Amino acid sequence: MFTLSIYNLTGKETGNIDLDKKVFDGKVNVPLLHQIVVMYQANKRQGTSGTKTRANVSGGNSKPWRQKGTGRARAGSSRSPLWRKGGIVFGPHPRSYRYEMPKKMKVKALISSLNSRLNDNLVKVLEELKVDSGKTKEFVQIIKALKLERKTLFISSESQDSLVRSCRNIQSIKLKGSKDINALDVLEVNNLVITKNALEELTARLKKGVK
């Protein structure tokens, strides 16, 4: 069973919390994580790259030279893929790379990603995450108090405009709700900070998803 310390916004430890061992058992399914990460990354692709075939390239309507008598190889069009400025054979065309996987696999992958961060002691629990002023410097003070370095994902149960404004200009910080995170969000960052309420909501969501 994992037992995590609870911190306030000044970085002081205020208590402990035991994680549900039915969800957070420390097991990491690496092959499943690989499948899920590939899916999420594929779904991010725009799929807008495209090339022109010989049917799309302009020109090439007339035969470059007569069929016989020139000593050169016969040619029917100057837009042949063999020619410079000709069409492209088997090039990419605009398409959707999106595909989906079963919900249970997504939930189990999220559990594995959280367990991997727990195994590495990269998870911190906050009493609450609140920024009244909406200023970036106030959020930076929280980061310094918690001694966070590199990329960090903050998970909160409540959506506050002032909280979003305070961290949106910090490139190394991501802020998401407990209902919105997935395995890729967890694996892309080096630290994970979650509020106590968000942890309870997330645990209930994961327990429900694997039934």
Residue 57 to residue 80: CA distance in whole angstroms: 9
Task: Measure CA 15 to chain center.
Answer: 32
Question: pLDDT value at position 91?
Answer: 95
Pairing mode of beta strands 3-7, 13-18: antiparallel
Mean pLDDT value of segment 124-146: 91
Rounded to two decimals, what is the model's pTM?
Answer: 0.85
Task: Measure CA 113 to chain center.
Answer: 12
pLDDT classification of 1: cutoffs 50, 70, 90: confident
Q: Distance between the two ends of the chain, CA-based, in angstroms?
A: 20
Residue 4: beta bridge partners? 17
pLDDT digits (tens, 9 = 90+) for 89-109: 999 999 999 999 999 999 999
Question: pLDDT value at position 82?
Answer: 93
Q: ∠ CA 153-155-168 to the nearest 5 degrees?
A: 60
Domain boundaries, the chain: 3-41+100-209, 46-96
DSSP class of 79: T
pLDDT classification of 117: cutoffs 50, 70, 90: very high
pLDDT digits (tens, 9 = 90+) for 19-70: 998 899 999 999 999 999 999 999 999 999 999 999 999 988 899 999 999 9
CA distances to 55, 68, 81, 88, 178 from 39, rounded to whole Å, are 33, 55, 34, 29, 21
Query: Tokens 């916004």 map to which residue?
Result: 9
pLDDT classification of 158: cutoffs 50, 70, 90: confident
Buried b / exposed e over 89-113, threshold 16 CB at 10 Å, is eeeeeeeeeeeeeeeebbbbbbbbb
pLDDT classification of 132: cutoffs 50, 70, 90: confident
**SS3 of residue 58 by DSSP:** coil
Residue 124: beta bridge partners? 193
Question: pLDDT value at position 150?
Answer: 85
State the architecture of 3-41+100-209 in CATH terms.
3-Layer(aba) Sandwich (3.40)
Both tokens assigned to 89: 């054979």
Mean pLDDT value of segment 72-76: 94
Amino acid at 155: I
Question: pLDDT value at position 60?
Answer: 85
Q: Are the CB atoms for 31 and 109 separated by under 8 Å?
A: no
Percentage of the chain exceeding pLDDT 90: 81
Instruction: Return the closest-CA partner of residue 23 out of 148, 111, 144, 82.
Output: 111
Mean pLDDT of the chain: 92
Q: Are the CB atoms for 65 and 111 separated by under 8 Å?
A: no
